[in-house]
Amino acid sequence: MRYIIITVLFFCCSYIFGQSVQSSIDAMVRMPALKHASVSIHVQDMQDGKTIASHHKDLSLIPASSLKLITTGVALEKLGADYRYETKILIDNQNVYFIGSGDPTLGAPKSDYTDTTPTLMLKLADAVAKTGTSQFSGGVLAISDVFDTAPVGDSWPYYDLGNYYASGVWGLNIRENYYDLFLDQNPKKGAPPTCCGTDPEIPGLRFVNELTSGSSTSGDNAYIYGGPYGYQKFIRGSIPSGSSTFKIKGSMPEPPLVAAQLLQNALKERNIDVAQAAAYTFQSPSLSQAKQVAMHRSPSLKDIITETNRKSINLYAEALLKTIAVEENGKPGSTKNGINTIYNHLQSKGISTDGLYMVDGSGMSPRNGISSSQFTAFLSSMYSQTSLYPVYKNSLAIIGRQGTLQYMMKNSPIAGHLYGKSGSMERVRSYTGYIETQSGRTIAFSVIINNYAGKSRPVVREIEKIFSSIYAL
């Protein structure tokens, strides 16, 4: 009898709290800022698969960076948690061959998992020096054949392409494919700052400086215009007025060439002469007479997807998408083949792809579309895999603690109990992930909002109320 009473009370409480989640959702969608917005929300219990609350759960909307959850999850399933990229150095009498594997972490400047670019280049140069070869009649030739020649998405906005977060992916990546651009601030508001110096130095890179100086507290409002392969960039917008050096970050025109140039410089530091300028190719040359002298292994895939999801690095997601394509179809890996592989994989798991419009791996394109129910269906599939779920969950940002969610709800009881991914672009906010409730349940959720009015903060506050109501389950 006591068991029956406890069971009845449990289901009654679950129903009441479930109604509270739905009430929080209903209250949010009635707010004036969402009068003309499109909203898709789904909240699902991972234990029994039942829907707890929803709002237009099958409506396809722009997810922004939340799309990385699909790319990283499929990569984890397809490649395995211990997968590593291998970048190789081969030599013959003529050239040093710098052979890319698509590793997006190669020489990453702020990674906990791999060597920085200067350290890496000297290690590779030392490996060449140990062979006793002191000169080459050719030069360093970078091989970027593992991926295709389209580093960025076809529908990525032009105003993003010159900036570090839209650096694109190549068969040989270096330093996350961005450079630091240094500007001398002007103390006078409205006056132009002085341009420019870069790290690393990129021969031939030119800037048209159209910047102005804002107030001393105005922040970074500078954008670099210009896509891949192009060496003339336009800098527009403003930086704060002042008297110091101000740094912004831009996408490299040709990262494989930069990698080759940096290695060639390191060889010269080790007194190894090269006769020709560094170069790169998308072709696969015959290397039957060349011998391998060094190999750099990337961090494991579980570490790469953690960097991807917690820091929301677009380059990493695009590299994973093309790597999936290579593993499935051979090189060169392409965005199209990677997306087809993901579609086929989702369908094999019984997840509907009707209304799924995936055009890249990172969520950079405003032409991506996915519903909240498709997100939760995928999260449910990952949750059911006992060996992969802990790796996947631990790759996500943690609310109030780590990653892109670390400053959200820091002083709330939910802090440390929501694992997820956020997404944002102009008039787009999305949050997707898992909440471990105070009663010990695991709940998958997805909230996608497009075309809200005004500032995002009032909308985010209402989303936080939904999170709190889920945590109370």
- 181-222: pLDDT as tens digits: 999 999 999 999 999 899 999 999 999 999 999 999 999 999
Cα–Cα nearest to 52, from 437, 458, 459:
437
Let me know: does 339 contact 321? Beta carbons within 8 Å.
yes
- Token representation of residue 45: 């219990």
pLDDT category, 17, cuts 50, 70, 90? low
Could you give the 3-state DSSP secondary structure of residue 302?
A: helix
**Calpha distance 350→445 (Å, rounded):** 19
Above 80 in pLDDT, residue 9?
no
Cα–Cα nearest to 320, from 331, 309, 305, 310:
305
pLDDT for res 18 = 64
Above 80 in pLDDT, residue 249?
yes
**Calpha distance 143→140 (Å, rounded):** 10
Above 90 in pLDDT, residue 397?
yes
pLDDT for res 175 = 97
**Which domains can be identified in the chain, with CATH numbers?**
21-80+302-471 (3.40.710.10), 86-297 (no CATH)
- CA separation (Å) from 310 to 305, 394, 422? 8, 10, 9
**Calpha distance 123→111 (Å, rounded):** 17
Cα–Cα nearest to 46, from 468, 433, 451:
433
Please name the helix (run of DSSP H) or strand (run of DSSP E) that holds residue 196, with its range, or none: strand 194-199
Alpha helices in 44-112 (DSSP H): 68-79
- 109-142: pLDDT as tens digits: 987 788 899 999 999 999 999 999 999 999 999 9
Residues 6+ apart with CB under 8 A from 116: 107, 108, 109
**Within its chain, how far is the Cα of 10 from the centroid?**
41
- 251-282: pLDDT as tens digits: 999 999 999 999 999 999 999 999 999 999 99
